[in-house]
Structure 1
Amino acid sequence: VMIEIYHRASQGQLALTDSILVKNKFESIVDYSTYEMNIAEDSEPSLYTQIGKQMTLFDLMNQMIISSSNLATNILIDEVGAKNVNASMQRLGAYNTEVLRGVEDQKAYDLGLNNMTTAKDLMTIFKSIALPLGETTQDQIAMIDVLKAQEFNDIIPRFLPGDVQVAHKTGSITGLHHDAGIIYLPNGETYVLVLLSKNLKNFDQGTLTLAKISQLFYEHVTALEVPSNKR
């Protein structure tokens, strides 16, 4: 969704400073009946105090990425359109990623109509953002800054040294916990890591295992570095 917002901004179709209405009524893709988001199921409850008011696209995008706000996600999907988001994914080569609906569309969920992605597609998406320094556009730099501000850091960054920066996006529902992002090493090198899970019987233990996998990847990548006195 963030990539589509920046794409449309680059085409002059919108501005990040545009204000839109904060609402909590959305249409099911099944029969267009309306439903509301449950504040108790959202990781960012403060946005619900702004319902009926105006907020900028940029602020809502920050809520969606940094705080994993379900409400902001649905508002922005409505604003830019799921089909347009899918078109952006196709342009990037993420051919198995599809946004069908917003969050908490229970009727769609009951019929198996769910958003989909793959580890390969997420790798493709993050690689498209993480171009080498000097080739990165201002939009990519802006997206990286938002991703670096992620508040949920219990997987990829959890056991990494403090001087390692991570630009990433997490996601979780019952039995699932994901994290994908760009890892910036102190020597200027980067790598992209995607960690997906499903059917977690113990959510906390699954999260810990994913964090340890991230640590193993970091140790492997940094072990490949050649000391400066041996170059």
Structure 2
Amino acid sequence: MGIADLLGGVAGAGEFGVWLGRLDGVAVFEHQAERTHYSASTMKLPVAIALMRKVAAGELALDQPVIVRNDFASAADGRFGVNQDEDEAPATWTKLGTPVELGWLATEMITLSSNLATDLVLECVGVDAANAVLTEYGSGRSAIRRGIDDRVAQAAGISNEMSPADLAAVLVAVGNDKTAGGEYVRDLLAGNQWNGEIPAGVPAGTRVEHKNGWDTRIRHDGGIVYPPDAEPFVLTVCTTSELPDAEAQRLIASIATGAWNHRNNLEAIR
């Protein structure tokens, strides 16, 4: 079943966006790719890129200590904390009140998608610096405006948004970044432990540098796939729908399989 057929099969169940292309940044297949969704944890990729820019500039260091705490300034007013019950990365929570290296937090943020680690890294980097990554590579529709679990800001309508096209643009930039910072981010993405979407749709052992995200009605994934017998390709899928979460994951995996099956002639998907 082709990608268009897969999307046709869920028509009316929500909003589904896809961007597929190679590392030259040219799309070979798009479906509602410019429409933004709540970003969920896909925003952690621009945060990681912004971090490495500051490391390269000498403003931050991966080995600098950061005290782990759960208290942050809201983008709206007052302060907020991360909901531990909704954070599926427990290791950061065991470090409360103690110093850890900033690089360790970055690893927790990407490979285990720790929300607490993300807000600690974002506090060091700054929301403006993280958003600047999206502004540089994206269309201007996507944005990082607040930390994870900033409920006060959320209630005030301050949200993080991501489109498949903008997530793809960031991945294309990372995939072509030959600096030490680019390699560092790619290795973090390749170490992602949550692999139920794009990696599940390609053969086991394939290198996939990806960042996914999920929330109520939300399931996204975006990554660079490296077939051993073809050029790398970039795939991003964003879903905001009434599909059961497992079904949304299977949809993304099936789209990845469709892309993989055309890896030697990706343009044929058009």
Give TM-score, length-normalised by structure 1. 0.90
Partner of 2:146: 101
Q: Deviations over 1:41-96 (max 9, x none)?
A: 00102211101111111100000000000001111111111011112322334532
The answer as to 2:215 corresponding to 1:170 is no
* Structure 1 letter corresponding to 2:97: G
* Structure 1 letter corresponding to 2:50: E
The alpha carbon displacement at 1:97 in A equals: 2.5
Long gaps (5+) in structure 1: 226-231
Partner of 2:164: 119
Long gaps (5+) in structure 2: 1-46
The alpha carbon displacement at 1:203 in A equals: 1.1
- Label 1:224 to 1:50 Cα distance change in 2 as closer, same or farther (>3 A): closer
Give TM-score, length-normalised by structure 2. 0.78
Partner of 2:44: none
Aligned residues: 221
Larger strand percent: 2
* Structure 2 letter corresponding to 1:75: L
Q: 1:16 aligns with which of 56, 62, 65?
A: 62
The alpha carbon displacement at 1:224 in A equals: 5.5
Partner of 1:229: none
Instruction: Please give the root-mean-square deviation of Cα atoms over the aligned residues, in Å.
Output: 1.7
Contact 1:165/1:184 (<8 A) preserved: yes
- Label 1:162 to 1:95 Cα distance change in 2 as closer, same or farther (>3 A): same
Say which structure, 1 or 2, has more relative contact order (CA 8 Å, 6+ apart).
Answer: 2
Q: Deviations over 1:143-200 (max 9, x none)?
A: 1111100001000010311242100001000100100010011136201100110023
Give the SS at the match of 1:103.
Answer: coil
Contact 1:163/1:186 (<8 A) preserved: no
Percent of residue pairs bearing the same amino acid type? 30
Distance in 1 (alpha carbons) for counterparts of 2:60 and 2:201: 39
Give the SS at the match of 1:49.
Answer: helix
Partner of 1:228: none
Q: 1:190 aligns with which of 215, 224, 232?
A: 232
The answer as to 2:263 corresponding to 1:221 is yes
* Structure 2 letter corresponding to 1:178: H
Which segments of structure 1 move beyond 3 Å, counting only runs of 4 or more? 222-225
* Structure 1 letter corresponding to 2:214: S
